[in-house]
Amino acid sequence: MRILLVNPRFPPSLWDFSHIRHINGSNFPFPPLGLAVLASLTPPGHEITILDENAQSLDFTANYDLVGITGYDVQKERALEIARSFRKTGVTVALGGPMVHETALDEFGKEADALFVGEAEETWPQYIADLLDNSPKGVYRQDGFPQLSPAPLPRFDLLNISSYATAIMETSRGCPFTCEFCEVPVRMGDTPRLKDPMQVLNEIELLASRGADSVFIIDDNFTGNRKHAMAVLSAVERRQRESDKPMSFSCQLTLANAFDDELLSLLRRCGFRWVFIGLETSDKETLEKMGKRQNLSRDVIKAVRNIQSHNLVIWGGIIVGFDGDDEETIERQRRFVEEAGVPVVMASLLQALPGTKLYERMKNEGRLTDANLGGVRGDKSSMLQTNIKPLKISAQELADQYIRLMDNLYSFPNYAGRLLKTIRQAREDKQAHRSKPSLASLRPLLGLASYYYLTTDPRRVFYFFRVLWAAMRRNGLGAETVFMHLAVYIHLRKFHEELSLQHRT
């Protein structure tokens, strides 16, 4: 069969970094790893094409026997459009990914020949066999959680890695923590499933052979199994030490790792530059109620500073709209972020995602404002909406407070101040294995200069040179990391300016 695997176009969103693609020369931040994995699971003898609509144009007139479409909730509308268009031409269509969950089967079933609920390591090969046997089912459900090793290498050869800002890979799935609002333990299990460290290393080498020089490890909790994480990192450190082309890495951690200096030092030596951590809120009562206990047993300010002292820049996730939130607590959030010195803050309104404990609680309390709204968050048009009725303030006041918070956090002086704190917290380190600067990696300098220097806004010039001066005097982070965070700011500021304008109008 001729099989087309499609990643639908994302609508404008906080994570698309659309405002700086001209600076780093990418079409999109990350390639569709799920489709590369799906292609590797397809039995031999089929012609497979991966098309990422975020980097390529989709041709509906091309001749295919089967079209598989995956996506997140934010891609749902476009995924359904693609499915309808191909089915009109008589092509068999299969839909899967996180967007296909039990509460949405009726909606998706109208537009597809087969639906996949859960992971596809076992169900996709079975579906292909059923198709060839003329006995396909309408719904395929994964029974339990499949193991990640042994497994074939993802078909990275079907992706144009150079179209993306960074490559991505996974070393594990699942998370041992059970935060009330999080769907990861529900969707991927609360016992981490592990990929063999040598397989991880083979995937890194395969990505390097395809031209990748940076990798984001997308595990929702990279250290969900610390022993495994240390084994992976030890293998990566050897690779970095022996390779003439060391790579840079990033991943997702938790505050449970904040004072694990052995782990943090190893991350640094492996060439990790930044880590995403769910800070959520500084309110201890809220953390307790939401089950985020890994953030309760430590001084969060000291935790952040210790992590960043290991030259790991924290990207902090925070949530606004918990039951205890009002104008005063949201202002405390702002002060907390500023004091901690977390430069990049990815904030969102609380959503009750289907399948989570929070969803069931909101349903039982009669506080779901729209039962179908929960998962469809993330794009700019819906970032100021929530499917939860707030307790202490109205939904409108919550949106107003969110805009006020982000306007403040992404003002020139406040972002620069947090980035300067991060630079000063870092330590000089000649042991870390960093990728060597190349002409391509220096390209962002031109875009940065045009934004920060060729402007009539004196604040841009002042803070640009203030950060550069601090970086030259003391910079354990490395020039590329500082330049990257100056570039990231451009997107975050412009995105929130557009969101603020959208809110006012």
Q: Do 215 and 336 reside in the same domain of the chain?
A: yes
Tally of domains within the chain: 2
Determine, yes or no, domain membership for 218: yes
pLDDT in tens, 137-162: 999 999 999 999 999 999 999 999 99
pLDDT in tens, 337-348: 999 999 999 999
Extract long-range pairs of 292-298: CB within 8 Å, 24+ residues apart.
292/177, 292/179, 293/177, 294/177, 294/254, 294/255, 294/256, 295/254, 295/255, 298/255, 298/258, 298/259
Residue ending a domain, choose from 321, 348, 375: 348
CATH number at residue 7: 3.40.50.2300
Q: What percent of the chain has pLDDT over 90?
A: 80
Question: Quick one: how many helices (H) and strands (E) in the chain?
Answer: 19, 14
Q: Do 170 and 127 reside in the same domain of the chain?
A: no
Determine, yes or no, domain membership for 441: no
Q: Do 176 and 57 reside in the same domain of the chain?
A: no
Cα separation, 339 vs 282, in Å, equals: 11
Asked if pLDDT for residue 315 goes beyond 80, the answer is yes
Q: Do 12 and 95 reside in the same domain of the chain?
A: yes
Determine, yes or no, domain membership for 466: no
Tokens at 255, concatenated: 């505050």
Cα separation, 147 vs 143, in Å, equals: 12
Q: Do 125 and 245 reside in the same domain of the chain?
A: no
Lowest mean pLDDT among 98-102, 393-397, 445-449, 486-490: 445-449
Q: Of 481, 480, 449, which is closest to residue 465 (Cα–Cα)?
A: 449
Q: Are 343 and 312 in contact (CB under 8 A)?
A: no
* Strand ranges inside 121-247, DSSP E: 139-141, 167-169, 172-173, 193-194, 214-217
Residues shown for the chain: 505
Residue ending a domain, choose from 330, 348, 366: 348
Residue 451: predicted pLDDT:
85
Specify the pTM.
Answer: 0.94
Q: Do 210 and 134 reside in the same domain of the chain?
A: no
Residue ending a domain, choose from 348, 380, 412: 348
Q: Of 253, 258, 268, which is closest to residue 217 (Cα–Cα)?
A: 253
Q: Is 76 exposed, middle or buried (0-12, 13-18, 19+ CB in 10 A)?
A: buried
State the average pLDDT over residues 104-108.
92
Residue 454: predicted pLDDT:
79
Determine, yes or no, domain membership for 398: no
Q: Please give the full DSSP string across 252-266, using - where no structure is assigned.
A: EE-GGGTT-HHHHHH
Q: Do 56 and 179 reside in the same domain of the chain?
A: no
Determine, yes or no, domain membership for 194: yes
Read off the pLDDT band of 434 (50, 70, 90).
low
User: Which has more confidence, 314 or 374?
Assistant: 314
Compute the Cα dihedral for 279, 281, 285, 291 and give only its sign: negative
Q: Do 105 and 234 reside in the same domain of the chain?
A: no
Q: Do 136 and 169 reside in the same domain of the chain?
A: no
Q: Do 216 and 296 reside in the same domain of the chain?
A: yes
Determine, yes or no, domain membership for 30: yes
CATH number at residue 308: 3.20.20.70
Range of the domain at 68: 2-141
Number of C-beta neighbours around residue 179 at 10 A? 22
pLDDT in tens, 51-92: 999 999 999 999 999 999 999 988 999 999 999 999 999 999
Q: Do 335 and 233 reside in the same domain of the chain?
A: yes
